[in-house]
Amino acid sequence: MEERERLLELLRTRALRVGKITLSSGKVSDYYVDAREVVLHPEGAYLTGRLLLDMIDPEAAAVAGMTLGADPIVTAVSIVGHLEGRDLSALIIRKEAKGHGTGKFVEGPSLPRGSKVAVVDDVVTTGSSLIKSIERLKNEGYQPVQVLAVLDREEGGKERLAEIGYALKSIFTRSDLIGEGPSS
């Protein structure tokens, strides 16, 4: 089985929950994907890191994402990259500024100002987490060059990101996962 198909199988069997649920965006949906069930699993982490690594701009020096959903993803991409001879630093973006010390929003190795960064998330609905991540990275002097996700729910996030100049690329879409068009 190819890597992409295996990761999709893991998402369907471990992460997909069907039924009414309120998402972090506030929208009510007929399904939920708890991607942590996959990206924190050894095989799922490897496959996620492997597939996203192939999608990352060759000029990127780092991969970054908002805590908590993106933490295992940036780590997996960074580790798989290292094993394959491509060192990408992992950057974690805080939801709130650190309350002491430097008060930073972005944690990770210090990189030169202007370093190019790929921004990732697990599941995209409205794109708000990715947009906030982009803003925080820019404020810290980084240059976000692309946005990637494991799953695009096809509920407007891609369009919102396009409005600010970023083309969302995802490993999967809602259509891939459950075979239907978008609904909220």
Instruction: Please give the model's pTM, rounded to 2 decimal places.
Output: 0.94
Is 50's pLDDT higher than 60?
yes
Write down all domains in the chain, each with its CATH number in brackets: 3-178 (3.40.50.2020)
Pairing of strands 116-124, 143-152: parallel
CA distance 25 to 71: 19
Is 182's pLDDT higher than 70?
no
pLDDT in tens, 55-85: 999 999 999 999 999 999 999 999 999 999 9
Q: What local confidence, expressed as pLDDT, does residue 79 receive?
A: 98
pLDDT in tens, 141-153: 999 999 999 999 9
Q: What local confidence, expressed as pLDDT, does residue 23 receive?
A: 86
Secondary structure (3-state) at 182: coil
Pairing of strands 116-124, 62-66: parallel
